[in-house]
Structure 1
């Protein structure tokens, strides 16, 4: 076993047995004070007071963790007694008091530590002056007490700083974890909303066309072909849009590695005529109006406007009477959509409510507003207002 391994083993033993470490520390500190003579004095032999001071100092240092204040008071009292009786300071007790002050200062606040250290220094210094102790003893006493209190205060400050840094790191890590979880939840909601908007419209078209095809097959089989063509086109479009959504999840945020194509959202309102045609084919009469000059919108706003129109018309097809009115109003700062329809038979009005919730979420995600609900006897309206500054679209 080499020296490094021996040192590591000793440190590990000291960490696991703090009392043993304190005993060894007491032997070292008090023993060093025992063999050290005061400056300017001739060497003296060991006396009974020295042995008593050594024993008391060892016990006090060994008990400094659990009984710090009691041990400190006992050592100070013994030092005053020895000073009053013999007129000499016990170096063993001075060393023990300094170490006990270090422990006390490391565990309490700065004000209390220096008040206690100052009070002890004043008591022992005045006692030394009254008993005419040597100047070297008095200065040495103040130096020992000052060093003990200073190192203890520095240790406390360092521990407090490390604890604060660790707490900040823990909070930062917790904040990162919470932010990551929040982003995961938001992404799940976005994916669910996107898939709902993609699937709901096309499945509704497929359902209407399938019902029509089933009807005409029994009476006019030659007319079933167009309905089946519409079903095929709607299913193909739904598959393509779902593949686009899944592709955004599988590929990098900027470029598809296999195709080299960007994954930015497809422009929305430019596809509005095709959307209206698909509804018309499915049997919904859509009356479209535009106020203001059409212009390029910010990408996310453009996509949100398209999806809101798609969902509102899908709801009109499901729960309306077969007709809807769509109005798009362009201003330099906003784009507004109004979709109204008559409410159909009460038996047809049922649904999960996720469609309206998804529209509200899309509007809120773009700092816009959306209202959806009855707007009069037998009518339902969706009103969405999205901020779309022309200068941002130009950039």
Structure 2
């Protein structure tokens, strides 16, 4: 019932204002015309009726002009108080109902500081009017003190209600922001996980499909002229496809891993680098591996990143370089591992090198590890990929520079 009444009040503001103005005007008129003094011949007293009607009419503007309404109704209340001794009625709280309503509306629609100023000024004005024009020379009576108390109480109650409304609105806004932030964070995590899955699947599929394509193309080329060599190439195709299926199965199993049991197979790392290079050599690519410094055990995430970078760089050489030789160099420093994959094939632009998502995936992996990546054509011929990975995750790249991408340089 109460909720329905509140809903009706909110949906009919003009009707509510009109009813309130009429009721307060009636209360004021009754208070000024209840008794007719012997010396008053014109009854009801027209000046008091005029001021009461004017005060109630001004109250209709309390939503649009709350400050002006408070000033006007306070002036009308003071005028009624000044006419009281002459017209034979007592100046009390029933004569300033419109003032109390105006101050309450002001407190509801403005801040606490504005409410305090206007309420203090209004109460002081009414108290002064009741004291200056008090009958029989008396200055202060209990009715006058009660008048001021009612005015202050109306503004205080409205201000307290507004403060509670603002507090609830702030709480709801914070809750909505927190919910929206959680949703954004969840979407961000889902997006990051999708990118991670896409990188893993791309690296696995692209590597093995490229090798299988190279071996199949070699077998097709040799089939008519050198059938024995073609047969050898076809024999290498089956292990390549089996390896592709096994690694794809391991990758999918790792992505499905819930964390409550042992992972089906550990993620690949640099320990598998000889097997990786051997697979490329079976496809006709001669890989020369060198290293500097003392090899150090790598964290699993960094170990996987290093392995995938070498794998993708060699895949790009097989697809785009047009050469049969490539060098892979590992340089271990105090806090830095530098991977360099370089070929001497025909000069190719960045467009040739990034026809797919290979370099994009490498950049994302290196950036996630806090390192740097340089992928660019060499000065005369060939292409070079250099990845610098910090060995300590708490210490990013020593230069403090963000990931650098030179792939668009000529």
Structure 1 runs (4+) deviating above 6 angstroms are 27-37, 50-54
Root-mean-square deviation (Å): 3.3
In 2, Cα distance between equivalents of 1:117 and 1:202: 82
Give the aligned partner of residue 115 of structure 2.
113
Match of 2:405 in 1: none
- Farther-moved stretch of structure 1 (216-225 vs 149-158): 216-225
Q: CA deviation at 1:34?
A: 8.1
- The secondary structure found in structure 2 opposite 1:218 is coil
Give the Cα separation in 1 of the matches to 2:101 and 2:352.
Answer: 80
Deviation digits for residues 279-312 of structure 1 (CA, Å, limit 9, x no counterpart): 1111111111122333321111000000001111
Which secondary structure does the structure 2 equivalent of 1:376 belong to? coil
Is the CA contact 1:98–1:148 (under 8 Å) kept in the aligned structure 2?
yes
Q: Which residues in structure 2 correspond to 1:183-222 (within 5 Å)?
A: 183-222=189-228
Q: Are the structure 2 counterparts of residues 385 and 30 from structure 1 closer, same or farther at C-alpha, using a change threshold of 3 Å?
A: same
* TM-score, normalization by structure 2: 0.79
Q: 1:39-79: CA deviations, max 9, x gaps?
A: xxxxx648836876775665555553345445434432332
8 Å CA contact retained: 2:92, 2:147: no
Per mean C-alpha deviation after superposition, the further-off stretch among 104-113 and 13-22 is 13-22
What is the CA-CA distance between 1:278 and the residue it aligns to?
Answer: 0.3
Structure 1 position 233, deviation (Å): 1.6
* Cα-to-partner distance string for 1:362-381 (whole Å, 9 max, x where unaligned): 11111011111133321322
Aligned to 1:365: 368
* 1:240-264 alpha-carbon deviations (Å, 9 max, x no partner): 3333333444x35424xxxx44278
How far off is 1:186 after superposition? 2.7
Partner of 2:83: 85
- Report whether the alignment pairs 1:14 with 2:9: yes
- Is the contact made by 2:100 and 2:154 (CA closer than 8 Å) also made in structure 1? yes
Partner of 1:307 in structure 2?
Answer: 308
CA contact (8 A) 1:265 1:300 kept: no
Comparing 176-185 with 279-288, greater Cα deviation is found at: 176-185
Uncovered stretches (5+) of structure 2, i.e. residues with no partner: 37-42, 396-410
Contact 1:320–1:341 at 8 Å: present in 2 too? no
Which secondary structure state, in structure 2, belongs to the residue aligned with residue 343 of structure 1?
A: coil
What is the total number of aligned residue pairs between the two structures?
A: 376
Write the distance in 1 (CA, Å) between the matches of 2:215 and 2:80.
109
Tell me the TM-score normalised to structure 1 length: 0.82
| 1:41 corresponds to | none
2:286–2:325 CA contact under 8 A, matched in 1: yes
